[in-house]
């Protein structure tokens, strides 16, 4: 179907630029999630597997009335980069190439990795910006040296500029570790304050922010897959808008929070009360090891806690949710590797206050869930950069669908309900392609 011309429903929208040429993807942190994504993209390109879990690759979008039966694939409706045009590079604090790192992560089986080895071996990390103060459980050996944080940012900018010469467009994604909990300080208030802070080695500037600053400075969109503060500060949003480099974050929404943002809206929609939600996890990958440090755990905990508070709106529904006790535990348990297991005990109550319980036991695979999320964020951020309606907005809230702790513009509460997020995403795609939005009102069928 020709783009922006389906069925006469289109409105006058500025056109999205086509996805011509190569899309360069700069991945910060070539660990379990990143290598599973990169290996998966290559497996799909070679016809070895299907891109299950990826909305950009498998999803469709309805256009017009239900009776029109028009539901093209999203990738045929909006001009997304073709997977064959995606080129990967990245940074890590360890020298392992993507094959070695994927083998270490033990997410994909040996047979699959062996088939992909010649390609995966070619992707070797550049030295990283790293400081153990921000990730206590890691001790990096493959790191940049510089006289201050400004110098380190300049080295990342040099990496970006060199890569830009080999591709047509660039997106950066943080798949690195969870840093210690940081709150915004004066150094994050404006671009000027941030740049002074880089010179002065301000402790409020974490390594993830040095990469993000470099990306945004170069007009490169940035996605934050971890719960780190990174681009969720005024200085970064200002830089994002100024240089038309869209940003989104924080923290890939994959296992337990994904389920939470499905179940909680269901209880609320039916006005069922909830007074307890206990969530616990065991996982044994490197992410689990990093989260075993209280500083990194606090960052993750904050990210995971927010969803229920926003979905339940206890201030609007005190009888149902004001006494909710919400507890989250993450336990590092090496035998499980990437095969995380999550348990939720949910204490709910119904008509006349009668109590009930629901137990959820999700035996998931962390990086198998996260890889398609990372891929979609990359492809959609590249689209946002080419969409006149989106590129200078800064935060891309329509990508909240993929994120545990969605970043919004200042003063706006985030939408956590997965189905609201899904509608928001699809309506944004319709909007940028000049198609009518779908409100689900549906009265016209009964006229
Ligand atoms: N797997 C999931 O389902 C999931 C979901 C949500 C968020 N996340 C987050 O995504 C991130 C990646 O998860 P993972 O399972 O791949 O972890 P991982 O530990 O396997 O990979 C992280 C990689 O980042 C590297 N790294 C750390 N600091 C770096 C820096 N400053 N520069 C460059 N590289 C750096 C590490 O060496 C490691 O290779 C974590 O922050 C995790 O919390 C994962």
Reported confidence tier of residue 307, pLDDT bands at 50, 70, 90 = confident
- Better pLDDT: 99 or 4: 99
Q: Which of 314, 37, 286, 29 is nearest to 174 (CA)?
A: 29
Backbone Cα Rg of the chain: 22
To test the pocket of ligand 1, the residue of 26, 27, 28, 29 to mutate (highest count of ligand atoms within 8 Å of its CB) is 29
Handedness of CA 174, 177, 179, 183 (dihedral sign): positive
DSSP 403: B
Ligand 1 contacts CB of residue 372 (under 6 A): no
- The per-residue pLDDT for 13 is 58
- CA-nearest residue, atom 18 of ligand 1: 31
Give me 131's structure tokens: 């400081």
Compute CA distances 198 → 154, 253, 406, whole Å.
10, 31, 26
**CB of 31 closer than 6 A to ligand 1?**
yes
**Quick check: bond before 227 cis, omega within 30?**
no
| C-alpha of residue 440 to centroid of ligand 1, in Å | 39
Q: What is the pLDDT of residues 366-387, one digit of tens each?
A: 999 999 999 999 999 999 999 9
* 291 CA: nearest ligand 1 atom: 43
Is the C-beta atom of 28 inside 6 A of ligand 1?
yes
- The pTM score is 0.95
Q: Is there an atom of ligand 1 within 6 Å of 225 CB?
A: yes
Residue 354 pLDDT greater than 50, yes or no: yes
Report the distance separating Cα 252 and Cα 102, nearest Å. 19
Instruction: Report pLDDT digits (tens) over 66-84.
Output: 999 999 999 999 999 999 9
pLDDT digits (tens, 9 = 90+) for 98-120: 999 999 999 999 999 999 999 99
Q: For residue 288, how far is its CA from the centre of ligand 1 (angstroms)?
A: 10
User: For residue 285, what pLDDT band results from cuts at 50, 70 and 90?
Assistant: confident
User: In which band, very low, low, confident or very high, does the pLDDT at 6 lie, cut at 50, 70 and 90?
Assistant: very low
Query: What does DSSP assign to residue 46?
Result: T
Looking only at the bridges linking them, the beta strands covering 273-283 and 341-349 are antiparallel
Cβ-in-10-Å burial (0-12, 13-18, 19+) of 317 comes to middle
Reduced 3-state DSSP string for 223-274? EECCCCCCCCCHHHHHHHHHCCCCEECCCECCCHHHHHHHHHHHHHHCCCEE
Q: What local confidence, expressed as pLDDT, does residue 284 receive?
A: 86
State how far the Cα of 33 lies from the Cα of 63, in Å rounded to an integer: 33
Cβ–ligand 1 contact at 252 (below 6 Å): yes
Distance 179 CA to ligand 1 centre (A): 10
By the 10 Å C-beta count (0-12 exposed, 13-18 middle, 19+ buried), 10 is classed as: middle
Q: Is 143 in the pocket of ligand 1 (CB under 6 A)?
A: no
User: Mean per-residue pLDDT for 6-25?
Assistant: 77
Give 3's pLDDT tier (boundaries 50, 70, 90): very low
pLDDT at 306: 81
Do 30 and 124 contact (CB within 8 A), yes or no?
no
The pLDDT of residue 199: 97
- pLDDT score at 9: 53
**What is the pLDDT at residue 10?**
54
**Residue located nearest, by CA, to atom 37 of ligand 1:** 93
Identify the CA nearest to 119 among candidates 92, 96, 88.
88
CA dihedral (131, 133, 134, 137) positive or negative = positive
pLDDT score of 398 more than 90: yes
CA–CA gap between residue 435 and residue 440 (Å, rounded)? 15
Q: Is 251 in the pocket of ligand 1 (CB under 6 A)?
A: yes
Distance (angstroms) between ligand 1 centre and the Cα of 31 equals 6
pLDDT by residue (tens digit) across 27-40? 999 999 999 999 99
Can you give the pLDDT at residue 184?
95
- Helix/strand/coil percent split, the chain, to 5: 45, 15, 40
Question: How far is it, in rounded angstroms, from Cα 294 to Cα 135?
Answer: 10
Distance between CA 266 and CA 281 in Å, rounded?
23
pLDDT value of residue 293: 82
pLDDT, tens only, 183-228:
999 999 999 999 999 999 999 999 999 999 999 999 999 999 999 9
Residue 47 pLDDT > 60: yes
Per the CB < 8 A criterion, the answer to whether 376 and 54 are in contact is yes
Q: Is 116 near ligand 1, meaning CB less than 6 Å away?
A: no
Tell me, using a 6 A CB cutoff, whether residue 232 lines ligand 1: no
* Beta bridge partners of residue 437, listed in sequence order: none
In short, whether 366's Cβ falls inside 6 Å of ligand 1 is yes
Cβ of 281 closer than 6 Å to ligand 1, yes or no, is no
Confidence of residue 8 (pLDDT cuts 50, 70, 90): very low
4: Cβ contacts below 8 Å, ≥ 6 apart: 10, 13, 15, 16, 433, 434, 435
Backbone angles phi, psi at 326, to 5 degrees: -120, 120
* Residue of 26, 27, 30, 33 best suited for mutating to test ligand 1, as the one with most atoms within 8 Å of CB: 33
Whose CA is closest to 283, among 113, 25, 33, 52?
A: 33
Q: Relative to the CA of 91, which ligand 1 atom is closest?
A: 33
**In this structure, which residue's CA is closest to atom 42 in ligand 1?**
226
Whether 11 has a pLDDT exceeding 70, the answer reads no
């Amino acid at each position: 179907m020709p783009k922006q011309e389906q069925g006469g429903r289109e409105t006058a929208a500025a056109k999205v630029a086509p996805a011509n040429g190569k899309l360069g993807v700069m991945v910060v942190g070539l660990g379990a999630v990143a290598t599973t994504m990169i290996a998966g993209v290559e497996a799909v390109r070679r016809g070895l597997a299907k891109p299950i879990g990826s909305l950009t690759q498998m999803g469709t979008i309805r256009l017009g009335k239900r009776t029109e039966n028009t539901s093209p694939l999203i990738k045929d409706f909006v001009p997304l980069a073709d997977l064959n045009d995606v080129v990967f590079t990245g940074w890590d604090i360890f020298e392992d190439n993507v094959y070695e790192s994927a083998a270490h992560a033990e997410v994909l089986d040996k047979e699959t990795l062996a088939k992909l080895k010649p390609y995966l071996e070619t992707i070797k990390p550049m030295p990283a910006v790293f400081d153990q103060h921000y990730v206590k459980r890691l001790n990096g050996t493959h790191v940049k040296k510089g006289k201050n944080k400004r110098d380190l940012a300049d080295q990342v900018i040099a990496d970006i500029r060199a890569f830009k010469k080999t591709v047509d467009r660039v997106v950066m994604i943080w798949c690195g570790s969870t840093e210690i909990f940081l709150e915004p300080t004066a150094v994050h208030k404006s671009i000027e304050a941030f740049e002074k802070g880089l010179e002065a080695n301000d402790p409020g500037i974490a390594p993830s922010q040095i990469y993000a600053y470099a990306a945004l400075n170069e007009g490169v969109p940035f996605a934050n897959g971890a719960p780190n503060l990174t681009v969720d500060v005024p200085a970064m949003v200002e830089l994002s808008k100024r240089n038309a480099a869209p940003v989104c974050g924080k923290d890939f929404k994959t296992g337990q929070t994904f389920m939470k943002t499905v179940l909680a809206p269901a209880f609320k929609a039916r006005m069922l009360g909830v007074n307890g939600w206990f969530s616990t996890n065991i996982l044994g990958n490197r992410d689990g090891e990093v989260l075993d440090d209280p500083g990194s755990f606090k960052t993750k905990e904050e990210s995971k806690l927010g969803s229920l508070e926003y979905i339940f709106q206890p201030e609007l529904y005190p009888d149902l949710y004001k006494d909710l006790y919400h507890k989250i535990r993450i336990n590092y348990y090496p035998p499980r590797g990437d095969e995380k297991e999550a348990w939720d005990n949910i204490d709910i109550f119904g008509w006349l206050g009668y109590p009930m319980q629901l137990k959820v036991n999700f035996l998931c695979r962390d990086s198998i869930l996260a890889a398609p999320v990372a891929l979609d964020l990359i492809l959609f951020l590249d689209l946002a950069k080419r969409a006149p309606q989106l590129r200078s907005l800064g935060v891309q809230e329509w990508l909240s669908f993929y994120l545990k702790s969605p970043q919004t513009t200042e003063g706006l509460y985030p939408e956590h309900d997965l189905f609201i997020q899904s509608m928001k995403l699809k309506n944004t795609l319709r909007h940028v392609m000049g198609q009518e939005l779908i409100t689900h009102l549906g009265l016209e069928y009964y006229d």
